[in-house]
A and B are shown apart, each in its own frame.
Chain A
Amino acid sequence: MHPAFSVIFLTTFIGAAQGLFLALFTAQSYAAFKLLPQPDSQAFYGWGSLLALALLALGLGASFFHLGHPERAWRTATKWRTSWLSREVIVLPAFMGVVFLYGLAHWLDWHPVLVTLPSGLPVDPTAVLGVVGTVLAFALFVCTAMIYACLKFLAEWHSPLTVANYILLGSASGFTLAAAFAALAAPELVGFLAGWAAIITALGLISRAASLFRNARLKPKSSLRTAIGVKHPRIVQKAQGFMGGSFNTREFFHGRTVAVLRVVKWGFLMGVFVVPLLLLGFGLRGSAEVLSLAFAVQYSGLLAERWFFFAQANHPQNLYYQSIA
């Protein structure tokens, strides 16, 4: 497939935002159980939610560049019964709304006790919003990933590993960002967040490596024989019906050499996993510079990872577009 930058930015921005929100609420939950010191409500949760919201808005903005008719985008919310894309379009703004309210509640220090759990733990609006936001964050990961994973003839995508990768890689970048942000806003949480960022990054490495391993061994189901229905081992295309290219030759081919793909692959394995893991290790002591660098490297790596994700998928329609004339 031809990687579209609008979609690359959309998925990486919102992935990091979802991960950042999960990190904020994870910290809040630990703090509620007194496993972590309670950070400053405004400085950490308030500004953190704003940061997540800004990333979500950037992603949403990028997505509009993918549409031929952005002014009709509201229509995409209508087919949620069958279309994962439609579901994503519904969950994304819902998640943004909850992140906004969550940030607002923290900003206003609004902590009236709604109920008290049997264990004596008070539940305030931020806890409720946090739980709802967590559910929506995971739902959004699943929707985004299923847009690709549900297409069964794109074998590289049609796997539960796609969903695992979207969850883990988005969360990893979000926790790394949270660690860098905490170095400025809540230094007492840096070790906790950077530690989790490293763990999720390592898990992401496992699932992404598993999908690379799987994809390298795929056998295409379709061939020219099934594409035109002629039973012969040697079929070559002599003409595709035009010489100047078409939507089919632009949308479904990345047009790069195998060597470029290999470089990008090793580049993202370094950029998303190896280098950030090292930097997170150094950053455990709380250096904002090192942790910011870790996020910058990991995010750039994710751009490459997403590019590779699209480029690697080989659409069966390409069988019909092998040679110009």
Chain B
Amino acid sequence: MTQLALVIDLNVCVGCHACVTSCKEWNTAGAAGPMGDQNPYGADPTGTFFNRVQTFEVGEFPNTETVHFPKSCLHCEEPPCVPVCPTGASYKRKEDGIVLVDYDKCIGCKYCSWACPYGARELDEQQQVMKKCTLCVDRIYDMSMDEADRKPSCVKACPTSARLFGDIHDPESVVSVAIRESGGYALMPEWGTHPANHYLPRRKTRIKIHEDELERADNPLKVDRQLPKPAMSEPTLDDVTTW
């Protein structure tokens, strides 16, 4: 079994929205029709996107941290959005686990969007059908592209390589290794949706310096104070002074 997914590294995402724009650019030009915008140059522009980047502030000043949070369909392994669809327009592919909407079958009843706890689905106001991330199903199998290009558009666009793509059921894939070794986690695990997409947490690089790494602890002369003890600022000499 294959389950394709994205792994998003919150530690390196800088919130530049490059994935958002490249996603829109690729998918609005795709075979499935445009992703409609309303009022794009007016006061209240709105439109359909598969991918959004949000920003959260964690903690209280001065101990705050900014978390940029890219958000798209997580291609859940137990997708609650699929069984509720009355038409079968929403489905999960057996072969690779991608959750898709058939825009020719969808009646725009919005029920699936109610059944997704993550708000990952958006109704296209222009086409009146439900839209969501396709994991660029029309790129990743396109043999006319270079192999390096057979990746979701967002992954290609990310300047910090915060987005990894692969099969989370293959234990040796880059995504499985990242999840396993860098603390990958799922969103809202409380609903049992088993999202395929995972997130890597913010990480801090810390080194623990012990006192005996600054002060010589193994100097036997220190014990009996046979030698003079110089000031901290003075140069030290092993076995000559006590530091």
Nearest opposing residue in chain B for A88, CB measure: B86
Q: Given A79-B87, A226-B190, are A237 and B108 also a contact pair (CB < 8 Å)?
A: no
Specify which of B48, B109, B119, B189 is in contact with A66 (CB 8 Å cutoff): B109
A67 close to chain B: CB less than 8 A: yes
B52 close to chain A: CB less than 8 A: yes
Q: How far is the CA of A147 from the CA of B84 in the complex (A)?
A: 8
B53 close to chain A: CB less than 8 A: yes
Q: What string of 1s and 0s marks CB contacts (under 8 Å) between B39-59 and chain A?
A: 100011111110011111111
The range of chain A's interface size is 35 or more
Specify which of B59, B69, B107, B115 is in contact with A76 (CB 8 Å cutoff): B107
B188 close to chain A: CB less than 8 A: yes
* Chain A positions within 8 Å of B106 at CB level: 68-69, 72
Do A84 and B122 touch (CB < 8 A)? no
Specify which of A70, A150, A315 is in contact with B84 (CB 8 Å cutoff): A150
B202 close to chain A: CB less than 8 A: yes
Q: How far is the CA of A248 from the CA of B20 in the complex (A)?
A: 16
A321 close to chain B: CB less than 8 A: yes
Q: What string of 1s and 0s marks CB contacts (under 8 Å) between B117-142 and chain A?
A: 11101110101110000000000000
Q: How far is the CB of B138 from chain A (nearest CB, A)?
A: 22
A212 close to chain B: CB less than 8 A: no
Do B85 and A79 touch (CB < 8 A)? yes
A89 close to chain B: CB less than 8 A: yes
Q: How far is the CB of B224 from chain A (nearest CB, A)?
A: 51
Q: How far is the CA of A221 from the CA of B117 in the complex (A)?
A: 11
Tell me the residues in window 97-122 of chain B with beta carbons closer than 8 Å to chain A beta carbons. 105-111, 113-119, 121-122
Do A85 and B84 touch (CB < 8 A)? yes
Q: Given A152-B191, A229-B201, are A85 and B109 also a contact pair (CB < 8 Å)?
A: yes
B243 close to chain A: CB less than 8 A: no
Do A84 and B107 touch (CB < 8 A)? no
A120 close to chain B: CB less than 8 A: no
Q: Which of A27-35, A91-99, A239-247, A280-288 contacts B (4 or more CB under 8 A)?
A: A239-247
Nearest opposing residue in chain A for B43, CB measure: A244
Do A72 and B87 touch (CB < 8 A)? yes
Q: Given A68-B109, A70-B107, A83-B83, are A237 and B55 also a contact pair (CB < 8 Å)?
A: yes
B71 close to chain A: CB less than 8 A: yes
* Chain A positions within 8 Å of B84 at CB level: 82-85, 150-151
Q: How far is the CA of A152 from the CA of B192 in the complex (A)?
A: 11
* Chain A positions within 8 Å of B46 at CB level: 242, 244-246
Q: How far is the CB of B47 from chain A (nearest CB, A)?
A: 8
Do B122 and A230 touch (CB < 8 A)? no
Q: Other CB < 8 Å A-B pairs besides A70-B107, A228-B187, A315-B117, 13 of them?
A: A69-B107, A79-B85, A86-B87, A222-B190, A226-B187, A226-B188, A227-B188, A239-B55, A245-B44, A246-B46, A246-B122, A316-B117, A317-B116
Binding site for B on A (CB under 8 A): 1, 66-70, 72-73, 75-79, 82-86, 89, 147, 150-154, 221-222, 224, 226-230, 232, 234-248, 251-252, 315-318, 320-321
**Could you list some 6 contacts between A and B, CB below 8 A?**
A76-B86, A85-B111, A241-B49, A244-B46, A246-B122, A321-B119
Binding site for A on B (CB under 8 A): 17, 20, 39, 43-49, 52-60, 66-67, 69, 71, 80, 82-89, 105-111, 113-119, 121-123, 125, 127-129, 185-191, 199, 201-202
**Those 4 A-B pairs whose CB atoms lie nearest each other, nearest first:** A68-B108, A68-B128, A317-B119, A241-B52
